[in-house]
Amino acid sequence: MLNEAWGSHHRGSGGPPSAVDAALLHYVAAADQPALVVSRPRTGALEVPRVRWASSAAADLFGVDAENLVDLAITRLLRVGSAGPALERLPRERRTRFAVEAVTSGGATRRTEVVAWPVPDRDGARGGEHSWVLTVVLPEDERSQAALRAAEERFATLAQSSPVPTIVSDVGARLSRVNDAFAELVGLPAEDLCGTGWLTHVVDDERPGVVEAVAAVLAGERVVVDTRLRNAAGQVRWVTIRLAPSRTPGYGAGFIGTVEDVTDRLAREHRLAYQAQHDLLTGLPNRLALLERLADLVGDGLTSGPSGPADPAEGVGVLMVDLDDFKTVNDGLGPEAGDAVLVEIARRLARTVRGGDMVARPGGDEFVLVCGDLTDLDAVEATARRVLDAVLAPVEVNGLRLRLVASIGVVLLSGLRCSAEEVVRDAGIAVHEAKAAGGGRWTLLDEDVRTRARRALRLVADLREALARGGVEVHYQPIVRPGRPARLRSLEALCRWTHPELGPVRPDVFIELAERANLVPALDAHVLAVACRDLASWRAAHAAGRLATSPEHVAVNVSAVSLAAEGFAAGVRRTVAAAGLELRDVCLEVTETALASDLRACRQVLEELRADGARVAIDDFGTGYSSLAYLKDLPVDHLKVDRSFVRDLHSAGPGVAGGPARAVAAAVVSLARTLGLGVVAEGVETFEQDEVVTDLGCEAVQGYLYSRPLTPEALVELLRTGGELAPRPALPTPREVPA
């Protein structure tokens, strides 16, 4: 019907169906509303548009057959009030809605509204005419019309005042309404956007995707599309567009959409993603980024050779760079100066590597380089030397020229099958080896070093478990009054550990492991608790007559870490009280090295405990740096002469003073007497040493000459027989697990 009516008026035009046909099809489907197609020549700017086609509903409205409406001037059918546009000047750029009076064939008028929609021009179509589609909105019920307009106004007000950019289309892709937020986003007035092709503001390479999304929403789908808009100032903003289908009676398929500006959010997300992968001080990749890079290089399933793809780790090495004594810079010049040094070192290291290599800062004063092309030891050495030289160059900080030294651990990844964490751990092992060799050098991790380190890690784990289940034993070495025989005076508690598979582990080995793993405070607390419990049981057995004697007190070694720990003094009090003892039953032995680490804190804790009755001894006296300087200020009961002096003691022959060792020992004894302190000689193993320390005036000795450390069971036998010990030559030490 549409094509016949349109063709009857343009019979003989010979052209193909125009874009008007497609537009009118929407209204034919909605034939319950009056619809007209009007046009006028493009050159006749003041000519009144004439009807080219009319729907059956329009024929009913005007009381004239549809074919008789064709070619009538639109002013014969519609009268526009003063507020509406002149019908010969209908807008071409946007949809227009205005009030009119419809004039029927009998001359009656009916108040109604008309919506005029400009039909896009097509060159060469219909002899160069401008066309409009007019739909007449009939006021079937004034109250329902008022409610409809009120609802539209409420929606318009809500959308207009919303901070969310909002767009509305009554039909097709062109906009019929936009709110101020969208106009501000695009940078154009709202009136300039209505009726326009807003898709021109979409960045060119993303426009096809948005057009596809609009087509989908016009087909009835809800769509969400991320794209970029370019505003009037040329700025590009990332937006998320959410479109929902909307069908307005008398118009056709359109949509309602919101446009969210996500530019700032994406910038924050990108910034957070950067921060998650980079060290904020130096800008280098951080530990997370390093582990991801290493995981790509040493991932499972890598093969090399003719049977599979090449190993990406072939020729790749990891160099961990650790600055030696960097703590001195931080402590001496402050953290700001330390940060400046780290930034400068990071800059230098970045210049020593190639473009495809990585320099990361996993933390502290450590840097890690992942370098390619390390195909042989010469290449490894050249790279390591280059890094050492870069660090060694003077650094200007606060007007001072500092020379830093670094230790480097190298791990080659070729053929390595382990996790990224294990690679970093192995590089740390190699650094430790370089530092142990004196620092300022590089060490390539080999299988022997890796085996020793993993053995140490296993021992640490086993030691931790042994502490947790009470598997670390406490033995006791007697401290005696010299004589023939000597008589037990007190005991020194010593920790001993027998590994369930490896056998006895040397104390210096597992104590060093405990220091690395921060287990020393737990070890000290364990020895104190066991020693107090054992001493209390021996005291009770002696009081009950089951033992002939009991020790005066028990001495327990205390580390600097334990002394500095918060609540140490309170913990000692609780442990001693829980065993039913008093503080005077315990002697705390502290080395000079521990005192030198934090003299003020140590003195405060020791004074507090000594005031409540605890005894205090300085162990290994004579090996510290300033013994005489601080000895007069410390709360001390007695000194223990270090075994290094006792070892070289010998009897003075005729005309011989006895050597330097005797002179030092004599000076220590004299100093102790002057200060009113007791003296214990450690490491006495021969009759000659025993004779010398007795002659010098040491009131107590301890050493293998009288007894090795005893198990609690062996000590009970000694106490049962009266605590007398006859001196006898030392026997060889039992086999223990070496370092």
Q: What residue segments make up the domains of the chain, in order of their start?
A: 2-139, 145-266, 278-445, 460-725
Topology of domain 2-139 in CATH is: Beta-Lactamase (3.30.450)
The mean pLDDT of 220-230, rounded to a whole number, is 91
Kindly report the number of other CB atoms within 10 A of residue 211's CB atom: 13
Q: Compare 190 and 284 and report the one with higher pLDDT.
A: 284
Sign for the pseudo-dihedral over CA of 531, 534, 538, 539: positive
Q: Compare 510 and 251 and report the one with higher pLDDT.
A: 510
pLDDT band of 597, cuts 50, 70, 90: low
Q: Share the mean pLDDT of the chain.
A: 82
Cβ contacts of residue 149 below 8 Å, gap of 6+? Answer: none
Q: What is the pLDDT of residue 628?
A: 64
Count helices and strands (H / E) in the chain.
Answer: 26, 28
**Helix segments in 517-658, DSSP class H:** 520-543, 560-564, 568-578, 592-597, 599-611, 627-631, 643-646
H or E stretch at 535:
helix 520-543
State the DSSP code for 196: S
Q: What is the pLDDT of residue 739?
A: 41
Q: What backbone torsions phi and psi does residue 102 show, to the nearest 5 degrees?
A: -85, 130
Q: What is the pLDDT of residue 522?
A: 92
Alpha carbon of 433 to those of 119, 370, 410, 658: distances in Å? 84, 20, 11, 42
Residue 206 has pLDDT above 80, yes or no: yes
Residue 641 has pLDDT above 90, yes or no: no
Residue 24 has pLDDT above 90, yes or no: no
Residue 232 has pLDDT above 50, yes or no: yes
Percent of the chain at pLDDT exceeding 70: 84
Q: Compare 160 and 72 and report the one with higher pLDDT.
A: 72
Q: What is the pLDDT of residue 525?
A: 93
Q: Among the CATH numbers 3.10.20.30, 3.40.50.300, 3.20.20.450, 3.20.20.140, which is that of 460-725?
A: 3.20.20.450
**Topology agreement, domain 2-139 and domain 145-266:** yes
Q: What backbone torsions phi and psi does residue 569 show, to the nearest 5 degrees?
A: -60, -45
Residue 734 has pLDDT above 80, yes or no: no
Residue 2 has pLDDT above 80, yes or no: no
Strand ranges (E), 463-524: 473-481, 486-499, 503-505
Give the least confident one: 140-154, 228-242, 434-448, 723-737: 140-154
The answer to whether the beta carbons of residues 152 and 251 sit under 8 Å apart is no
Q: Among candidates 658, 673, 572, 563, which has minimal Cα distance to 614? A: 572
pLDDT tens digits, one per residue of 410-421: 999 887 778 899
Q: Among candidates 370, 375, 331, which has minimal Cα distance to 354? A: 370
The answer to whether the beta carbons of residues 242 and 258 sit under 8 Å apart is yes
Residue 537 has pLDDT above 50, yes or no: yes
State the DSSP code for 16: P
How many CA atoms are closer than 13 Å to the CA of 655, on its beta-carbon side? 0
Sign for the pseudo-dihedral over CA of 388, 392, 393, 399: positive
Q: Among candidates 472, 517, 542, which has minimal Cα distance to 718? A: 542
Q: What is the pLDDT of residue 148?
A: 52
pTM of the predicted model as reported, rounded to 2 decimal places: 0.55
Q: What is the pLDDT of residue 730?
A: 59
Q: What angle do helix axes 326-333 and 335-352 make, rounded to 10 degrees?
A: 140
- Which residues on adjacent β-strands are paired with residue 103? 109
Residue 282 has pLDDT above 60, yes or no: yes
Q: Compare 670 and 2 and report the one with higher pLDDT.
A: 670
DSSP 100-123: EEEEPTTS-EEEEEEEEEEEPP-T
pLDDT band of 306, cuts 50, 70, 90: very low
Give the least confident one: 82-96, 333-347, 500-514, 605-619: 82-96
Q: What is the pLDDT of residue 275?
A: 82
Residue 6 has pLDDT above 90, yes or no: no
CATH 3.90.550.10 matches 278-445: no
State the DSSP code for 583: G
Strand 252-261's sheet: what is its strand order?
Answer: 177-178, 166-169, 252-261, 236-248, 223-230
Residues in the chain: 739
Q: Compare 148 and 609 and report the one with higher pLDDT.
A: 609
CATH 3.30.450.20 matches 145-266: yes
Q: What is the pLDDT of residue 629?
A: 61
Q: Three-state DSSP class for 418?
A: coil
The mean pLDDT of 228-248, rounded to a whole number, is 88
Residue 738 has pLDDT above 70, yes or no: no
Rounded-to-integer distance, Cα 462 and Cα 651, Å: 46
Torsion of CA 705, 710, 716, 722, to 10 degrees: 10
